[in-house]
Each structure stands twice: as C-alpha cells, then as structure tokens.
Amino acid sequence: GYAPSCTHANDAGLMCGNDETTPTEAPTVGDSGGLSGGAIAGIVITVFVFLFLMGGFIGWKKKKDEARAAAARAASSRNTTAPPPTATTTRTPMTTNQDITME
C-alpha cells in the first residue's frame, strides 16, 4: 500500500504529503464538551426551586404587610376621639306670674 509521509504540525493534527490536515483523533459521539444531561436537569430544578421560594417569600411579605396595614387602620380608628357632643341647652319653661295662682 501507499503510505504518505506525514509529520505532526503542532495543534493542527497530522500534515501529510499533500498538505491536507487530518485530525489526530476522530470526535466521539456525544462528546461535545458541553454540560451533561444531569447537569442541565440540576440547573433547571435549581431554578424552579429558587423561583418557588422567591414567590413564597414575596407572598408571605405581601400578606404580612397587608396584616400590618389592617392592624394600623384598626388601631387608628380606635384611637381617634369622637368629636365632643354638641352642647345642647334644654329649656325649661319658665313660670310666669300668670301661671301662679294664689288661693
């Protein structure tokens, strides 16, 4: 068979007699260098848990603030003094000399 003369050229792979670059290793299937399926699932679950906790915290804070505001409204309505009653004068009929009869 024919075997071309090839030399190793730094990171470019093998340099053969016709100046073509051939890789030193064929890439394996599924070895893309990215994250594995388990890592991606872990990230997705972590994001959902984080969002769930943040929603719970916001809901709790909102409920607490509403309860505090309602308590403040109730306290302010109890502490307000009612206006003083208006002074009403009761008039008693005066007796006149005509009403008094001497017997």
48 pLDDT band, cuts 50/70/90, is very high
With tokens 């399926």, the residue in question is 37
Q: What is the mean pLDDT of residues 46-51?
A: 98
Both tokens assigned to 76: 């302010």
Smallest CA-to-CA distance from 12 within 26, 29, 24 is with 24
Q: How many residues does the chain have?
A: 103
How far is 75 from 89, CA to CA, in rounded Å?
34
Query: 31 burial class (0-12, 13-18, 19+ CB within 10 angstroms)?
Result: exposed
Rounded to two decimals, the pTM is 0.41
Q: Partners of 21 in the beta sheet?
A: 15
